Amino acid sequence: MTVQEIIQRSIDMHPSLLREALLNVAALHSRAGNEMLDKKASESAYRLADSCRSAAAALGNDNPLAVIMGDMSAWTSTLRQAAKLQCLPRHMVPAAVAAYEAAH
């Protein structure tokens, strides 16, 4: 399976669960950003949270996959959550990412 196929399958099969998972990850990154003393680390955590929220919001769009794939942080977070929701074997995600990176 490709990165896009894994994400699209979750978009099609359980969009509300995927949205909830992404919002939970966004909340986790936001809390981490609030706790960090290093300004750069906090900013990075907040950017990751924003990417997760953007991916969750994209699920209501006409073509959510295109929006998600336009932001590397968004698609990597979405991919992780989609793979968990689909109970994919752990080796499939790195293989899909490697194939994606080789093609791009």
Overall pTM surpassing 0.75 (yes/no): yes
Q: In this model, does residue 7 exceed pLDDT 90?
A: yes
Question: Which of 19, 13, 5 is CA-nearest to residue 74?
Answer: 19
How far is residue 19's CA from residue 10's CA, in Å, rounded to a whole number? Answer: 10
**What is the secondary structure of 8-74 as a DSSP string?**
HHHHHH-HHHHHHHHHHHHHHHHHHHHH-S-HHHHHHHHHHHHHHHHHHHHTTSSSHHHHHHTSHHH
Domain-wise residue ranges, the chain: 3-103
The predicted pLDDT at position 54 comes to 96
The predicted pLDDT at position 53 comes to 97
Q: Are 75 and 8 in contact (CB under 8 A)?
A: no
Residue 88: alpha-carbon gap to chain centroid: 15
Q: Are 54 and 29 in contact (CB under 8 A)?
A: no
What average pLDDT score do residues 33-60 get?
95
